[in-house]
Amino acid sequence: MLNALLDLELSVPDPEELERFWLRRGLQATAPGVLGTADRPSQLRLREGGYRHVSEVRLACDDEGDLDEIAARLDKLGLSSDVRDGELRTIDPCNEHAVVVQVATAAPLTPPATRELNRPGAPVRVDRRSTACLGRAPSAPRRVGHVVFGTPDVEASRAFYVEGLGFQVSDGVGPGLGWFLRCSTDHHNLLLMPAPVPCLNHYAVELDDADAIGLAAHAVLAERPEATVAGLGRHIVGANLFWYLLDPAGGMFELFADMDQIVDDERWAREERRDDWGLDIAAWNAAGPTPDFFLPADLDALAAARDAARR
């Protein structure tokens, strides 16, 4: 039923500072409080809030019949939703952010120029310098690809996203420690992992390749040398390259590229899916992770601010 993660709304105490940060990274201000790209004008929506959290997730489905089916599935779970004007609205029962499903499709991404690579015994770039070392500035982000939530009830969160909204399960961390879920061909658009209180673990921004990740990360480190959390590396589950850093609001974000793609759901479930992956995050990792990779360092302050906002 679902076909894309459209965008995220982030609530932070100083959205203007976070907006300036992402404008320096190459995102575009496409509307007040909205950041996007030429291909996809809305990727991050920023609003003021008393503490750092995701306040809304927007997803896409194919047609209005999908909205009615999602509403019926949520109802079977005892969860309410509202369907009108080509969209469904509901609330994540564990993390309490809004989830909106719209009849839409994500615009295709403009492919990057093919970079010639010299491999052992197969040189194709001859008498020419590599474009990887000639870039004067980091390339712009391509899209927001996934988000990771810490939840006090992983299985209840899984039921909401899978049995309710219709996400597909790609892989699991076992037993029952986390779920990689997808609503597109990406290996994951959502990861659910345990946390003592609901929280945003990180959001992820796709770049073209390893060189683009390296240039972008070093531009961040030139401003804030302490920003690295983990990277550069390559994940085992999802296989994507990564570099994790902290944004000015204290939130972790991932720069990623080269994620596994799943187009045959049945084949993946039959031949590739595992629900017993361990906690090793990387096939290789140049530096990290720091202790706050799995839980935010300021989790207690976030929890207190969250409780205050709910009163």
| Least confident piece of the model among 80-84, 153-157, 174-178 | 174-178
The rounded distance, in Å, linking the Cα atoms of 215 and 255 is: 11
Please state, in angstroms and rounded to a whole number, the distance separating the CA atoms of residues 96 and 211: 37
Question: What is the band of 287 on the pLDDT scale with cuts at 50, 70, 90?
Answer: confident
Percent of the chain having pLDDT more than 70? Answer: 100
Mean pLDDT of the chain: 96
Is the Cβ–Cβ distance between 108 and 39 less than 8 Å?
Answer: yes
Q: How many domains is the chain partitioned into structurally?
A: 1
Cβ contact 19:33 at 8 Å:
yes
pLDDT class of 138 with cuts at 50, 70, 90: confident
281 domain-assigned: yes
Is residue 305 in some structural domain?
A: yes
Please answer whether residues 135 and 218 qualify as being in contact, where contact means their C-beta atoms are separated by less than 8 angstroms. Answer: no
pLDDT digits (tens, 9 = 90+) for 202-229: 999 999 999 999 999 999 999 999 999 9
Question: What would you report as the CA-atom Rg of the chain, rounded to the nearest whole angstrom?
Answer: 19
- Side chain identity, residue 230: A
134 lies in a domain?
A: no
Res. 88 pLDDT band, cuts 50 70 90:
very high
How far is the C-alpha of 132 from the C-alpha of 51, rounded, in Å?
A: 39
In a domain, 127, yes or no: no
Q: What is the CATH classification number for the domain harbouring 300? A: 3.10.180.10
pLDDT category, 82, cuts 50, 70, 90? very high
Query: Does residue 211 sit within a domain?
Result: yes
Given this model, what pLDDT does residue 137 score?
Answer: 77
118 falls within a domain: no
In this structure, is residue 187 part of a structural domain?
A: yes
Cis peptide before 138 (omega within 30 of 0): no
Domain span at 237: 2-108+141-310
pTM of the model: 0.97
Residues 164/2, Cβ–Cβ less than 8 Å: no
What is the pLDDT averaged over residues 236-255?
98
pLDDT of 135 higher than 80: no
Q: Is residue 20 part of a domain?
A: yes
DSSP 29: E
